[in-house]
Amino acid sequence: MTRLGDSVARTSALLAQDLSSDKTVEQLLTETKARRYLDLSDLSAKDQAELIARRTVDVIPSVSRLAERIEERRAGGRGLSLKLGIDPTAADVHLGHTVPMIILSRFQRMGHDVTLLIGDFTAKIGDPSGRTAERPPLTDEDIAANLAGYREQVRPFFDFEKVRFRQNSEWLAPYTFPELLGLLSQVPVSQLLQRDDFRNRLADGSGLTMSELLYPIAQGLDSVALECDVELGGADQLLNLQMGRKLMELRGQQQQLVVTMPLIEGTDGSGAKMSKSKGNYVGLNATAEDVFGKIMSVPDRLMEPYLKAWTEWTDEEISLALSRIEEKSLHPMDLKKVLAGEVVAALYGVDAAMAARAGFIAQFSKKSFTEVESLPSVDAAEHGGETVATVLTKVLEFTQSASAARRLAKQNGLRLVVETGTGQQTAVLDEAAATGPLGEVVPRVLAEKGLSGTVYLKAGRKIAEIRGL
């Protein structure tokens, strides 16, 4: 049996047990955390290709060709040469950015070689993929700062010590205009305009710049320069990746294979992909407790894609867990706690995951909030003049912005919870209340409802005590 097979056997046995048990969950997280570093080089070429394909959208031209390329390289005594382009356009990285890193880590552990291509030249053009307007270019200083932050934050998911780094300015900066014209004479404009985002923008009159049209060409030239066997990218990058195959063919090179990865839906369940601009993301710089809580807030239907995206579980293990939910031998909440633990364990370790689990259970499973240690608080005497939305955003940092706090109120997710000696009573704060001063809104609502006791402000799943009333 392979090393992965041994691990799957141990994990499957744990998944069949009581997953509400802290002891079982800790054993499970320990096993799956160790799997993130498991040597996969004993898998056959076919098994390697299939394991990769199960977490991708497309393998072009086919999974069988990927297996054949692995065999070809093995016969020559080496592994595949893989490339992933890193677009250094943001200093803050979220969980969605780790998807390609997890797949690359598997390739690494199978014995293949990885090149991370830093798009320092193309970042100055701006990748238009999926955008409705041209993205502003970055300076060299922006790129360097963003890249440093990216590398540090994604490090828990990927071994950066075993990769080559290249910058595409090495070959794109000296590229001459005659060379470019000669290349463009062989690329039909119709191929560039196959992109839905380009067609949509032309249709609504937004227009396109020449730099945007040339971006796929520039990315294709990266493939020509590096002559890799496989290039990875998001599903929205498919046409750019295929341009690499086209240009390699024009240069008489062996065409790269293309592996595309899914764009993961954000935590709000709206269907939009995880994005900082939409506020539906899990930041890699967030605390273990915050990461755990955000995963626990997602709709149940996202558990399967999240398990596939961010754990090392196989399809068989995921199916086993989901079948137990269907059979009602496993509660969805218990599986979601395991999922949240998986993400925290990847970032901070198993001990931190178990501590976050214990804190979540204490905060949201006990009947009394007074039993919860280290619950955040806000002093009404100090912050009473600030609006409820401002307190949520700047004092407690429960919401990303005041508008997000107002949206939460509009969705009935903003409440006052009052604990008395006999239990809890709740009052919903509407959108108007969210824009009023804390020191006026809270006493007024309590008086209207005839409530008295220890008062808590609840925003979604986050809770803080209001003191000094």
428-442 tens-digit pLDDT = 888 888 899 999 999
Per residue in 322-333, pLDDT tens? 999 999 999 999
Whether the predicted pLDDT of 365 surpasses 80: no
d(CA 398, CA 334): 24
In this structure, the answer to whether residues 91 and 239 fall within a common structural domain is: yes
Q: Flag whether pLDDT at 131 surpasses 50.
A: no
More confident: 194 or 292: 292
Q: Residue 132 pLDDT > 50, yes or no?
A: no
> 91-105, 147-161, 186-200, 276-290: which range is least confident on average?
186-200
Query: Which pLDDT score is estimated for 291?
Result: 93
80 and 147 part of one domain: yes
Query: What confidence tier does 415 reach under pLDDT thresholds 50, 70, 90?
Result: confident
Which three-class secondary structure state does DSSP give residue 454? Answer: strand
Range 193-200 average pLDDT = 74
Please, what sign has the CA dihedral across residues 77, 44, 309, 355?
negative
Q: Do 457 and 329 fall within a single domain? A: no
Residue 289 sits in a domain whose CATH number is 1.10.240.10
List Cα–Cα distances, 391 to 58, 372, 384, 395, 418, in angstroms. 46, 21, 9, 5, 18
Query: Which range, of 13-17, 260-264, 402-406, averages the lowest pLDDT?
Result: 402-406
Q: Which of 188-197, 300-309, 432-441, 450-459 is the least confident region?
A: 188-197
The whole-number average pLDDT for the span 118-146 is 66
- Res 89: pLDDT: 67
- How many angstroms separate the CA atoms of 460 and 415, rounded? 8
Q: 279: closest CA among 400, 395, 397, 393?
A: 400
**b/e code 290-309 from CB counts within 10 Å (16+ = b):** bbbbbbbbbeeebbeebbbb
Same domain, 19 and 72: no
With CA atoms as reference, report the closest residue to 163 among 223, 75, 81: 81
Whether residue 136 contacts residue 211, with contact meaning beta carbons closer than 8 Å, is answered with no
> d(Cα 124, Cα 122) in Å, to the nearest integer?
5
Model confidence at 421, pLDDT cuts 50, 70, 90, reads: low
- Asked, for residue 168, whether it belongs to a domain, the answer is yes
Could you tell me the residue range of the domain that residue 230 belongs to?
A: 56-261
pTM: 0.75
Tell me the two tokens of residue 316. Answer: 């068989």
Q: Which residues does 252 contact at the CB level (< 8 Å), separation at least 6?
A: none
Distance, CA of 8 to CA of 13 (rounded, Å): 8
Domain at 446, CATH number: 3.10.290
Residue 27 domain flag: yes
Q: Is the pLDDT of residue 93 over 90?
A: no
CA distance 259 to 59: 5
pLDDT-above-90 percentage for the chain: 51
Asked if 103 and 237 sit in the same domain, the reply is yes
3-state secondary structure (DSSP) of residue 177? helix
